[in-house]
Chain A
Amino acid sequence: MSKLTYNNTTYTCTENETVLDVLHAHDVPVPSSCRSGLCQTCLMQAVKGTPPEAAQKGLKDTLKAQNYFLACCCHPDDDLEVTLPNTGTARIKVTVNNVEQLSHDIVCVSLHSEQPLDYKAGQFINLFKDSSLARSYSLASVPAQDNHLKLHVRKVPDGRVSSWIHHELKKDDMVEISLPVGDCFYASGKPQQAMMLIGTGSGLAPLYGIARDAIAQGHTGPIRLYHGSATLDGLYMVDELRQLAEKHENFDYIPCVSDEPVTDESISNGHVLDVALANNARLSGWRVFLCGNPNMVKAAKKKTFLTGAAMKDIYSDAFIAAN
């Protein structure tokens, strides 16, 4: 049992409760999303006391050093006094440059940051609708090529943040985002390694960034991007990706549609994972990136591993839906 202080009020935290549990039980509006220690939406800072190491997993070293932690997986050993992150250190203000329709249910949001942001294509940020509500979105932009941060946002049924983005967010609005984080990105080295990128829906965003980043960094091995959608109208950026494939011999783009017949021969019929594995039966030595639907990501992790990809060469980002 430990004491937890927030905004001059002290609560007790039992062994089985997280900081997030306690604060939510007392209606303290702490933003949260995946509740699994992945999305970092519930980032908080301990101003007194030290958060346990397990609650700092995946945080940047600079944030760890300032006693930032994730409330959803923090079972405090010590008494803690905590606050929400300050704008400027863990959160920054950006301006909406553009909101553009990509498909019937996905928009691209471009964000302009005054201060230069250090990030890698494929990492993600949390976009705040207000101080207590945020969602994670992957970065489709490449720092060296794109002037703005670019996110692909799918309209989630009853999604509070995605509805706001689709229907209300507009050019010149100011919004808050977290610093970019995540380890699903292209690391330089091994330029000849074959790369397989598999994504569903807006899982294309990080893959589009990663593929262009790899090409820009001089990757010479094959880069195969498989994008899957249930229906034909869910495929997007098809022209951009085809142009990229025409321009770069080592880059292939394979759009896949699973739930309706397709006559266009340049589009594969079938589930994206099945198509990708049918085309490439052995993946020993490959680097694999998997993004989008959590069930697809889970199945793909296992199947690509079983067909030979080394565990350390499999990078993934499952888009877990928030409640």
Chain B
Amino acid sequence: MSQTLFQKLGGDAAVDAAVDIFYRKVLSDDRISDFFDAVDMEQQAAKQKSFLTMAFGGPNNYSGMDMRRGHAHLVSRGLNDSHFDAVVENLAATLEELNVSAEYIAEVAALCETTRNDVLGK
């Protein structure tokens, strides 16, 4: 039986390894840090964890509608394609740092791409 992308990446353990690295990157990226700079960092980190689980093709229950609702307040603050690209870029850099192959990174990026219109409310 062929493994899912989530299994190939290492499952939950891979998400745990990636979440701090990824969150650190987005908080340090001036293009997007404002969107991630929450008072409650633990809660924000938990959101990053759900995002990474989804991006890795792991189990999640997000619908397109959830994506729209969850990001609407950010869209009203100016969230656009350039920010979306920056997030995907930071995710790719995170995976490179964890020695994930270019082939899998491309698969993760493609998965993120399927959410673009819903996230940006288009």
Residues of chain A having any CB pair with chain B under 8 Å: 298, 301-302, 305-306, 310-311, 314
Contact = CB atoms under 8 A, between A and B. Distances in A.
A306 B39 contact: no
B45 A302 contact: no
Contacts, number: 21
A302 B20 contact: no
A302 B45 CA distance: 12
Contacts of B41: 301-302, 305, 311, 314
A291 to B, nearest CB: 16
B28 A306 contact: yes
Given A302-B27, A305-B23, A311-B23, 17 more contacts: A298-B39, A301-B41, A302-B37, A302-B41, A305-B20, A305-B24, A305-B27, A305-B41, A306-B24, A306-B27, A306-B28, A310-B20, A311-B19, A311-B41, A311-B42, A311-B45, A314-B41
A209 B37 CA distance: 31
Contacts of B23: 305, 311
B29 to A, nearest CB: 11
Contacts of A301: 41
Contacts of B19: 311
A140 B41 CA distance: 26
Contacts of A310: 20
A273 to B, nearest CB: 15
Nearest to A310: B20
Which 9 pairs, one residue from A and one from B, show the smallest C-beta to C-beta distance? A311-B45, A301-B41, A310-B20, A311-B20, A306-B24, A306-B28, A306-B27, A298-B39, A305-B24
Nearest to B39: A298
A305 B28 CA distance: 11
